[in-house]
């Protein structure tokens, strides 16, 4: 069959970029926690205060090293249109400008903090202390950057790692406030309030943002990376029954997630979504194919299943044609009212999201369709 949609697989550079970014966040978190301990002048027999300060400083330097690797591999990967200037000047990149820009701001602030720390005796304690307060800000920017710009935010590992970082910093701030001088109640009150309100706001943003369908487009991913444009042959406005019952005029929108298994030579892409804008229910598309030399998904066979809101299967069929960015599925049961067309408006494998429309396009005609197994 012909190419369905662009679906370039991850490269080693992409894995290096995401891995170095996560390690950098972990190092920053550990550095902030130790920095908080240092400001409280905590020490014991095993950990004298100078050793805590030494580890804190070297963790910060190591975070800078991983941040440089993270920025360089993002540019060299080539999937997203990110240039070298975009790694130091925020909000200019055509790829997720806001969320990438937050990461650049965090990078610039981290460099300023590290440089002034190394030159503390030259810049003075007041300048050093003032800039050091920005460590909390750059850490927060780094968290938002990773969640907003990352294409694997939905994975359990990333969510657990980010949650652990937030909890660690919260506990460090709480501990610092608990032993703070009574003469500064206002500062302590602001800090404690922030550690309660901001994590709640972060969870709320995650639910409606990176964890919701369609985030790749809303985050600012260029259309060229979202999997092509809608086919003019399929994709009429949604007008199906609200209960998801199939009829000759059934049409609905859908949005969902993509998971892939296997290698580029034998890949299985599973799209799980929900019906919307005209119908209630779910859609399941399972595609077997391969990744071409241009990074596109070539479909060899597949199945499509629709389920209405009550859990009843209203359509089950096999893919028989691939016109442009759509699939035509012929029902395996004679009770279906027609063939089904599944339009892919977006198909972002890296982001794990897909959107489109689905509709009945013609009465079932059995073997009259050219199944084109070797097209």
347 versus 324: the higher-pLDDT residue is 347
What's the whole-model pTM score? 0.63
Least confident segment among 166-180, 185-199, 228-242: 228-242
Q: What is the pLDDT of residue 45?
A: 66
Q: What is the pLDDT of residue 180?
A: 65
Q: Pick from 233, 221, 238: which is nearest to 275 by CA?
A: 238
First to last CA, the chain: 4
pLDDT for 194 beyond 50:
yes
Q: State the CB neighbour count (10 A cutoff) for residue 296.
A: 18
Sign of CA dihedral 246, 251, 255, 260: positive
Q: What is the pLDDT of residue 204?
A: 96
Percentage of residues in the chain with pLDDT exceeding 70? Answer: 79
Give the number of C-alpha atoms closer than 13 A to the C-alpha of residue 237, restricted to the C-beta side: 1
pLDDT for 369 beyond 60:
no
Least confident segment among 182-191, 254-263, 271-280: 182-191
Query: Which pLDDT band, with edges at 50, 70 and 90, does 91 fall under?
Result: very high
Q: State the CB neighbour count (10 A cutoff) for residue 195.
A: 17
pLDDT for 117 beyond 70:
yes
């Amino acid at each position: 069959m012909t190419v369905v949609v662009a679906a370039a697989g991850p490269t080693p550079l992409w894995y290096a970029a995401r891995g170095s970014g996560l390690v950098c966040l972990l190092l920053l978190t550990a550095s902030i926690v130790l920095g908080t301990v240092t400001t409280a002048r905590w020490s014991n027999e095993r950990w004298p205060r100078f050793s805590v300060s030494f580890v804190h400083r070297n963790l910060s330097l190591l975070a800078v090293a991983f941040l440089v690797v993270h920025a360089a591999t993002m540019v060299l990967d080539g999937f997203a249109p990110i240039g070298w200037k975009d790694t130091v000047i925020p909000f200019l990149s055509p790829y997720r400008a806001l969320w990438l820009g937050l990461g650049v701001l965090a990078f610039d602030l981290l460099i300023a903090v590290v440089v002034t720390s190394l030159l503390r005796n030259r810049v003075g304690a007041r300048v050093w202390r003032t800039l050091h307060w920005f460590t909390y800000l750059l850490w927060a920017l780094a968290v938002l950057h990773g969640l907003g710009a990352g294409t694997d935010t939905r994975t359990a590992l990333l969510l657990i790692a980010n949650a652990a970082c937030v909890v660690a910093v919260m506990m460090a701030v709480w501990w610092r406030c608990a032993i703070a001088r009574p003469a500064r109640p206002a500062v302590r009150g602001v800090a404690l309030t922030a550690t309660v309100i901001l994590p709640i706001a972060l969870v709320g943003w995650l639910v409606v943002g990176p964890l919701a369908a369609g985030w790749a487009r809303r985050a600012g991913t260029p259309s060229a990376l979202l999997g092509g444009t809608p086919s003019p042959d399929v994709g009429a406005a949604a007008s199906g029954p609200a209960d998801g019952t199939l009829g000759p005029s059934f049409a609905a929108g859908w949005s969902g997630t993509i998971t892939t298994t296997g290698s580029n030579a034998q890949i299985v892409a599973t799209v799980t979504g929900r019906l919307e804008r005209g119908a209630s229910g779910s859609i399941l598309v399972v595609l077997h194919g391969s990744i071409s030399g241009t990074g596109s998904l070539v479909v060899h066979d597949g199945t499509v299943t629709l389920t209405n809101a009550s859990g009843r299967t209203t359509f089950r069929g096999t893919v028989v044609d691939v016109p442009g960015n759509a699939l035509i599925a012929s029902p395996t049961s004679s009770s279906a009212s027609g063939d089904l067309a599944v339009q892919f408006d977006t198909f972002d494998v890296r982001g794990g999201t897909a959107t489109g429309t689905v509709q009945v396009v013609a009465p079932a005609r059995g073997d009259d369709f050219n199944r084109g197994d070797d097209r």
